[in-house]
Structure 1
Amino acid sequence: MSSTLVIRQPQPVMEARDSDEWGSGICDCCEDVPECCFAFWCCPCFACITTRKYGQCLCLPLLDIFGCIPPITMSMRASMRQRYGIKGTMCRDCVYATCCTACTWCQMSREMRRRNIQIVLVSAKNT
């Protein structure tokens, strides 16, 4: 009877997400229809929840109500581009924030979900 010595244990596999592009387009709301409906019908609530998940103050998006160009939506989008290394311009962020607010929040929510990859170890035992 021989015994086998294992020198290397299998390592968890993680998909790399270091693309410099958005993971989905601004109008790809069909990827998550319930989220899109929530953002369309109650954008302030959706924006507050997304902002909280991003790690910022829950009520921050409510400041967008006071201006023509939503400064919080635009700055959140710019911050997300900076954090994830996504190419883009402040001008484009401004246009999307002003003309497609609900779609912008949906895109940011999808991007956070894509970039937040959890590593799950299956059958890990404490010895």
Structure 2
Amino acid sequence: MSSTMVIRQPQPVMEVQGSKEWGSEICDCCQDVPECCFAFWCFPCFACVTARNYGECLCLPLLEAFSGCIPAVTMSMRASMRQRYSIEGTMCKDCVCSTFCTPCVWCQMSREMKRRNIQIVLVGAKYR
């Protein structure tokens, strides 16, 4: 009888000590002009890519076509991101921003993910 032992090595983890504020404002599109242009010219594609990068289903933003006057997917993604990154805010502000500035909210969320996604590089690590 043979048995297999699986060993999982600990992975390096870096916790972002960010502020409790968004890294950019809603209308800070000049911080990432190519991203803003992508969102302007092909918003459904941009929203789907951003949702996928966040870890959600690629097609989730397309469900917004079936919602009423309040974009529920955009609002819930923004609230989820606030909770994940410990950003202060209210559901009321999420609702207002999502309803009246939908493309700008998606651009802000994409910028925030880029800002908070710090790559970890191991220097001088030895592999056996």
TM-score (norm 2): 0.82
Q: Which runs of 4+ in 1 moved over 2 A?
A: 14-18, 121-127
Partner of 1:7: none
TM superposition shift of 1:32: 0.6
- Maintained 8 Å contact 1:69/1:98: yes
C-alpha separation between the residues in 1 aligned to 2:45 and 2:127? 42
Identity of aligned residues (%): 77
Contact 1:39 1:106 in 2 (8 A): yes
- Give the corresponding residue for 1:55: 55
Aligned length: 115
Gaps of 5+ in 1: 1-11
Structure of greater Rg: 1
Structure 2 gap ranges (5+): 1-11
1:118 paired to 2:119:
yes
Match of 2:91 in 1: 90
Q: Which whole-Å CA distance do the structure 2 matches of 1:17 and 1:118 have between them? A: 14
Q: Kindly state the Cα deviation for residue 18 of structure 1 after the two structures are TM-superposed.
A: 2.7
RMSD: 1.8
Q: How many angstroms apart in 1 are the aligned matches of 2:103 and 2:17? A: 24
CA contact (8 A) 1:17 1:115 kept: no
- Residues 114 and 17 of structure 1, relative CA distance in 2, 3 Å threshold: farther
Hey, what's the Cα distance between the residues in 2 that align with 1:84 and 1:42?
A: 27
Shift of 1:114: 1.0
Give the alignment of 1:1-127 within 5 angstroms: 16-66=16-66, 67-126=68-127
Change (3 A) 1:58 1:29: same
